[in-house]
Structure 1
């Protein structure tokens, strides 16, 4: 066995993968979706084949790795332009605890048991389910937790739902607030925003005020 060749291949593949992951973006490291996870596994398998089988030319491994990274970047670019594709590829968040009530049906749908819930609550430094107002299972598998505001019971905590994303009205979120798109447009006009398409992000805050961020605003 040519150990020198194996060592050189290992070093070379290491830098290739490092470059590819950096090129694909920080999201690949910090927040893996299902698609990201699949691509990462495939790249890892190709790297192992290249290191173990020195009879196979390295180009036969590098080309598929580069192609996988380009495919991933292409889908990431398309998901920026298409909300439907973004939801199809990345999935959507699931509310497991809603206004202090556990949604067992949603947990079954996500194949998520109470042990999983308690473990992730502890990882969020929450030791009592009774202290949780909302628990949201993100597409990455992480659990986002919003605790109850026990110091101010009059102002009930509301789930921070985006009403506008990338210029598109989130009708599902409006329905949860028992409001219509007409109401939202009227509220935006009151604030001086007449073109919804120019709004990058809009959400209703706990004090019933709107947080609005315009596209490409400096």
Structure 2
């Protein structure tokens, strides 16, 4: 029993490391060869995990080789546009200037129901309003509406805006995020003083606290 647990932990750790080295993309963003690698990794890990009669190295070695293979393919695609086209394919324009490109639909085996569904998901229900709809190599559909159908933004109205940046998390579940404090040049004493204004005497009483994009402190105390 102990042997099974140890083998399981070793193989689980190895697969997690392999997936981390492959990158942080979601399943829907994986290229076909990456999805194949993930499926094979899972199968290779299961065999020695379930059967103690199979040598552990029989699972570790193929996993390591698959990881090297995936990294080599990714590096090749990174350096060569031609290789990237062969490995990952190329984007396909399914709609151009409000007109469906039937040849591309047939070539990519993409039916009209799927096309309409994806357009609705992008808040563009009318095909006539689409300048370009591009099927990316990940399988996602990028939709570019016609210029007269795009939502207004401050630049269109010539309204000046200021830089916002990102909110900075300061406390999570009562724990102070020291690295974020240092990076944002926020003093710990200042944070304590601000929280005391709201009747909070300890960071442990805070569920979440952050500095928003306008430089204002947001907090939420833990429920009692």
2:35 corresponds to: 37
* TM-fit CA distance, 1:30: 6.7
Give the alignment of 1:63-82 within 5 angstroms: 63-82=61-80
Query: In 1, distance between residues paired with 2:12 and 2:84?
Result: 30
Equivalent position of 1:166 in the other structure? none
Distance change in 2, residues 1:140/1:85 (3 Å) = same
* CA–CA separation in structure 1 for the residues paired with 2:28 and 2:105: 25
Give the secondary structure class of the aligned counterpart of 1:40: helix
Deviations 1:31-79 (A, max 9, x none): 2111111111111111222222221122110110110010111111122
Match of 1:89 among 87, 90, 108: 87
Q: Which has the larger radius of gyration?
A: 2
- TM-score, normalized by length of structure 1? 0.63
Give the distance between the partners of 2:5 and 2:101, measured in 1 at CA: 52
Where does the alignment leave 5 or more consecutive residues of structure 1 unmatched? 153-218
2:104 match: 106
Structure 1 residue 28, shift from structure 2 partner? 7.5
Note the C-alpha offset of 1:93. Answer: 0.2
State the TM-score, normalized to the length of structure 2. Answer: 0.61
For residues 121-140 of structure 1, the aligned pairs below 5 Å read: 121-140=119-138
Contact in 2 for aligned 1:28/1:36 (Cα 8 Å): no
SS at match of 1:125: coil
Is 1:96–1:103's contact at 8 Å kept on the other side of the alignment?
yes
Unaligned runs of 5+ in 2: 151-224
1:61 — aligned with what? 59
Separation (CA, whole Å) in 1 of partners of 2:129 and 2:7: 53
Indicate the SS of the match to 1:95: strand
Q: How many residues align?
A: 150
Contact 2:94–2:100, Cα closer than 8 Å, also in 1: yes
Give the root-mean-square deviation of aligned CA atoms: 2.0
